[in-house]
C-alpha cells in the first residue's frame, strides 16, 4: 500500500458510497484578469513582511511592476482586442472593474514603496536623493554627470506641423514639457517631448566623496528634471511630467502565410516596440492638460491613465539593489538580502562516476533550486566530449542570451555529432535570443526546426543517443533529461522545478518519437509512457479525474493533489468539481491565476486552493491522483504544462509518470506535502477569488512551517 498524500485539514475521504444526487449546476468561473491581479497582490504583500530583508522587499515591489507591465502588454491587450473584434462600441467600458482593480493595486504598490520600504532603507543609510535633497557638492556632481553623460544624448523635440509627435517606444522613459515664451523663430509652440535613451542608467550611485557617509543614489529622471530648462534655452519651463506608455507587445505573424518564420519574426521585432497603446503612466503632479494631450496622442480613454506617486518605472530600481554594498553596521542589524544559498549536489550522483554510468543503474531526480542545475550541463558536456555519443536533440524555449547549454550544442555540431534543436521562436520576449541561437546553430550544421505551425513547443526535453558495448555487440542506448522548467541556469537558481535524468527505455523512446514527430510532422506510434499535448495529455487528466470521482462514489480512497502555475481550463475545472462533489479530497496548489471557486457549500467545499509566494518562484508542475488503496490505483506525473487551455491544445507539452517507488515518494515528500503544510508563505483562496494568508490568525509563538525553508535545510 502506498503512503500517498495526506488530506491535511480537509475532511477525510468518503468511507461509504454517496447516494446518487442530481448534478449541481457548475459555478461561474472566477474572472481571469482579476485572478492575475490577485496574484500580484500576494507578491506585493511580500514587500510588507517584516521578516523579509529590506532589499528583497524592494525587489518584490519591482517584480510587481514587471508583472503589471506584462499584464497590460499581453493579457489586457488581448482582452481589448477580443472586445474590439466582437464589435464592442466601447471595449474599455467592459473592463472598467478590472481597470479599477489595477489602479488600486498600483496605488497600493507606490504606497508600500514610499511609506514603508524607502523610509526603512533610509534608516539603514541607503537613500535616493531628489534635487531638493541634494547639497551643493552633490548638485555640482550631478550637474557634471548630466553635462558629460546625459545631455549629449538628449534630443528635445518641440511640436509643430513640421515636428509631429514622435514615435514613443514601449515602456520607454520620456518627458512632456509645456513651454512659455517663443521659440527661436518667433513662434509660440508650447509642447515639447524629451525621449530618454535606453542606454543611460536609470539609477546612478554618488561617489563616496559627496555621499555624506551614506550609500546615496540619484534617479536619471531626477537628473533630467533638474536640468530641463537647459534643454530649452530662451524658454520658460512652465510644467512638465515624466511619462511612459505600455503597448500591445504580441507579434502579429500569420505562421501559415509566411515562407520563413524566423525572418518574419525578426522583422516583427523591429515594430514590437510601437504596437497599440494600452496604458499611459504619468507622475501624480502632471497637469491635466498635459495628460489629456498625451491620451489624445495615444488614442487612449481616461481609464487608461495611471497617475503614480514616484518613478514611472519601478522595475529599474533593481539597478539600485544591485549597486548596494553590504556594509556591517556598528550594531548588529538585520541583513539587507536573503542569506546566500548554494544549491546542493544531487544525492543521486556520485563523484568519480559518469552520469551515463549512473543512469544505467537508476534514474536521478533533480529538484531545483535546492539542488544544483549543473548536472544537466554536465550531462550535455559529457555527451559532447564522448566519442560514442552520436546524436543530441534538445528543445529550446527560454534559455537566455548567454547559455552554456547552447554553447555545448554548437560545439557538438562542430565535432560532427548529429544535433537537432527545436527552437521555439515564439517564446514571448525571448524571440530575439532564440533567433540568434537558431542562426548560430544552423551556421555550424545543426538541424534546426521551429516546432509546428500554430503550436508552441513548450516541452522540455534533452535526448542523447550513444553507441555502447552490450553482450559482446554494439548497440544504441538513449539517455534523456525531462524537466518541468526551462534550460536556463540563471532561472534554475530562482525557480522551483523538477527534472529527471533517465535511461528508461520507454521514456527515452517516447522522447525520440516526439522529436521525430516535430521534425517530420508525421504521425507517430502511440507513446508508451509520455503524455503529449495536444493529443493525450488533456484526455488522460480527465480520465484520471473521472477515476477518482468514481472511487469516491464507491466509498474508496479518493484523492487529488495538483500543483501548477495556473488553472484556467474549464473542462479540467469541471472534472475537479465533480470529483470533489463525489467526496474526493482535492488540494490545489496554484501559484498564479485559479478560476475554480473553492469552498462553495455542496459544490466545492471539499476543494482547497493554496498559493505559495516565497523567496523562489514556484514553477513545478506535479499531478497526483489516487482512486483506491492499491499501488496500481495511484498515479504521479511531472509535467511541463499548466492546466490552461493553451497548454493543453495550442502547445506541444509532455507529462511523464514517476514510476520508481523511491523517487515517487521523494516527489510527494518534497513537492507536495511541505506545501500543504506551509503556514508562512501560503495563501488560501476564498470562494470570491480573494486570498487570505494562512497562519495570520495564529498566536505569535505558534510554529509556522515554510516549505521553501524546509527544502533549503534539507538540501544543506
Is 398 part of any known ligand binding site? yes
Is 495 part of any known ligand binding site? yes
345 burial type by CB count under 10 A (0-12 exposed, 13-18 middle, 19+ buried):
middle
SS (H, E, C) 42-98: HHHHHCCCCCCCHHHHHHHHHHHHHHHHHHHHHHHHHHHHHHHHCCCCCHHHHCHHH
Catalytic residue among 367, 458, 481, 538: 458
User: Residue 610: beta bridge partners?
Assistant: 589, 684
Separation CA 677–CA 675 (nearest Å): 5
Separation CA 421–CA 463 (nearest Å): 10
> The dihedral of CA 95, 98, 100, 103: what is its sign?
negative
C-alpha distances out from residue 506 to 477, 478, 530, Å? 12, 10, 8
Does 458 participate in catalysis according to the annotation? yes
User: Residue 651: beta bridge partners?
Assistant: 456
Best CA proximity match to 709, nearest among 661, 677, 685, 687:
677
Cβ neighbours of residue 180 closer than 8 Å, sequence gap 6 or more: 190, 235, 236, 237, 238
Is 619 part of any known ligand binding site? yes
Q: Which grid cell sits at 549?
A: 470521482
- Whether omega before 645 lies within 30 degrees of 0, making that bond cis, reads no
Q: Which grid cell sits at 288?
A: 491635466
Helix 404-414 × helix 431-443 angle, to 10°: 20
> Taking a C-beta distance cutoff of 8 angstroms, is the pair 638, 656 a contact?
yes
Separation CA 502–CA 479 (nearest Å): 6
> Taking a C-beta distance cutoff of 8 angstroms, is the pair 366, 343 a contact?
no
Strand 473-483 relative to strand 191-195: parallel, antiparallel, unpaired?
Answer: unpaired
Separation CA 481–CA 569 (nearest Å): 28
> Taking a C-beta distance cutoff of 8 angstroms, is the pair 412, 441 a contact?
no
Strands across the sheet containing 215-219: 126-128, 215-219, 203-205
Separation CA 583–CA 701 (nearest Å): 35
Task: Name the one residue in this structure whose C-alpha cell is 524566423.
Answer: 262
C-alpha distances out from residue 191 to 73, 157, 178, 589, Å? 28, 9, 5, 52
Q: Which residues are catalytic?
A: 458
Q: What are the binding residues? A: 67, 398, 428, 495, 591, 619
Q: What are the binding residues for ATP? A: 67, 495, 591, 619
Q: What are the binding residues for Mg(2+)? A: 398, 428
Amino acid at each position: 500500500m502506498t503512503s500517498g498524500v495526506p488530506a491535511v485539514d480537509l475532511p477525510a475521504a468518503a468511507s461509504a458510497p454517496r447516494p446518487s444526487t442530481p448534478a449541481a449546476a457548475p459555478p461561474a468561473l472566477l474572472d481571469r484578469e482579476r485572478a492575475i491581479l490577485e496574484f500580484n497582490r500576494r507578491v506585493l504583500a511580500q514587500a510588507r513582511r517584516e521578516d523579509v530583508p529590506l532589499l528583497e522587499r524592494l525587489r518584490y515591489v519591482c517584480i510587481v511592476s514587471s508583472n503589471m507591465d506584462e499584464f497590460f502588454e499581453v493579457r489586457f491587450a488581448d482582452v481589448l482586442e477580443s472586445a474590439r473584434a466582437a464589435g464592442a462600441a466601447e471595449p474599455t467600458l467592459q473592463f472598467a472593474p478590472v481597470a479599477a482593480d489595477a489602479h488600486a493595486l498600483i496605488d497600493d504598490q507606490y504606497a508600500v514603496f514610499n511609506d514603508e520600504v524607502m523610509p526603512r532603507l533610509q534608516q539603514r543609510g541607503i537613500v535616493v536623493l531628489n534635487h531638493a535633497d541634494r547639497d551643493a557638492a552633490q548638485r555640482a556632481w550631478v550637474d557634471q554627470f548630466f553635462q558629460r553623460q546625459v545631455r549629449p544624448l538628449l534630443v528635445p523635440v518641440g511640436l509643430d506641423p513640421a515636428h509631429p509627435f514622435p514615435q514613443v517606444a514601449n515602456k520607454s522613459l520620456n518627458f512632456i514639457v509645456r513651454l512659455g515664451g517663443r521659440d527661436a523663430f518667433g513662434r509660440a509652440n508650447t509642447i515639447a517631448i524629451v525621449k530618454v535613451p535606453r542606454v543611460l542608467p536609470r539609477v546612478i550611485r554618488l561617489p563616496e566623496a559627496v555621499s555624506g557617509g551614506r550609500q546615496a543614489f540619484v534617479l536619471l529622471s531626477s537628473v533630467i528634471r533638474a536640468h530641463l530648462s537647459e534643454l530649452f534655452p530662451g524658454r520658460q519651463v512652465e510644467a512638465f511630467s515624466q511619462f511612459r506608455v505600455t503597448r500591445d507587445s504580441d507579434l502579429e505573424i500569420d505562421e501559415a502565410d509566411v515562407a520563413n518564420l524566423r525572418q518574419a519574426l525578426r522583422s516583427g521585432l523591429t515594430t514590437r516596440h510601437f504596437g497599440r497603446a494600452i496604458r499611459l503612466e504619468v507622475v501624480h503632479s502632471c497637469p491635466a492638460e498635459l495628460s489629456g494631450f498625451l491620451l489624445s496622442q495615444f488614442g487612449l480613454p481616461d481609464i487608461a491613465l495611471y497617475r503614480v506617486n514616484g518613478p514611472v518605472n519601478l522595475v529599474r530600481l533593481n539597478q539600485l539593489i544591485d549597486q548596494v554594498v553590504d556594509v556591517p553596521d556598528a550594531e548588529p542589524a538585520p541583513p539587507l538580502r536573503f542569506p546566500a544559498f548554494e544549491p546542493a549536489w544531487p544525492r543521486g550522483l556520485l563523484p568519480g562516476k559518469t552520469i551515463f554510468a549512473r543512469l544505467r543503474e537508476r534514474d536521478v531526480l533533480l529538484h531545483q533550486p535546492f539542488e544544483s542545475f549543473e548536472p544537466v550541463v554536465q550531462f550535455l558536456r559529457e555527451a559532447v566530449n564522448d566519442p560514442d555519443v552520436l546524436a543530441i536533440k534538445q528543445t529550446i524555449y527560454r534559455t537566455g542570451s548567454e547559455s552554456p547549454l547552447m554553447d555545448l550544442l554548437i560545439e557538438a555540431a562542430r565535432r560532427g555529432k548529429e544535433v537537432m534543436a527545436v527552437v521555439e521562436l515564439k517564446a514571448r520576449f525571448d524571440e530575439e535570443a532564440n533567433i540568434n541561437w537558431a542562426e548560430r546553430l544552423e551556421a555550424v550544421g545543426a538541424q534546426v526546426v521551429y516546432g509546428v505551425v500554430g503550436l508552441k513547443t513548450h516541452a522540455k526535453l534533452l535526448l542523447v543517443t550513444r553507441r555502447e558495448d552490450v553482450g559482446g555487440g554494439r548497440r544504441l542506448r538513449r539517455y534523456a533529461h525531462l524537466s518541468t522548467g526551462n534550460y536556463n541556469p540563471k532561472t534554475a537558481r530562482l525557480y522551483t522545478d523538477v527534472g529527471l535524468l533517465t535511461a528508461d527505455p520507454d521514456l527515452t523512446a517516447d522522447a525520440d518519437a516526439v522529436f521525430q514527430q516535430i521534425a517530420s510532422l508525421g504521425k507517430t506510434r502511440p507513446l508508451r509512457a509520455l503524455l503529449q499535448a495536444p493529443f493525450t495529455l488533456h484526455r488522460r487528466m480527465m480520465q484520471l479525474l473521472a477515476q477518482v470521482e468514481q472511487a469516491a462514489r464507491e466509498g474508496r480512497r479518493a484523492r487529488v493533489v495538483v500543483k501548477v502555475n495556473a488553472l484556467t481550463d474549464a473542462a479540467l475545472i469541471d472534472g475537479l468539481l465533480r470529483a470533489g462533489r463525489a467526496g474526493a479530497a482535492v488540494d490545489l496548489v496554484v501559484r498564479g491565476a485559479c478560476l475554480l471557486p473553492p469552498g462553495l457549500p455542496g459544490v466545492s467545499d471539499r476543494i482547497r486552493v493554496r498559493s505559495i509566494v516565497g523567496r523562489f518562484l514556484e514553477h513545478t508542475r506535479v499531478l497526483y491522483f489516487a482512486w483506491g488503496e492499491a499501488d496500481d490505483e495511484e498515479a504521479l506525473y511531472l509535467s511541463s504544462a499548466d492546466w490552461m487551455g493553451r497548454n493543453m491544445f495550442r502547445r506541444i507539452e509532455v507529462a511523464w509518470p514517476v514510476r520508481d517507488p523511491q523517487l515517487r515518494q521523494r516527489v510527494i515528500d518534497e513537492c507536495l506535502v511541505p506545501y500543504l503544510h506551509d503556514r508562512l508563505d501560503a495563501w488560501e483562496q476564498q470562494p470570491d477569488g480573494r486570498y487570505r494568508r494562512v497562519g495570520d490568525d495564529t498566536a505569535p509563538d505558534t510554529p509556522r512551517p515554510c516549505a521553501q525553508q524546509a527544502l533549503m535545510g534539507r538540501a544543506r
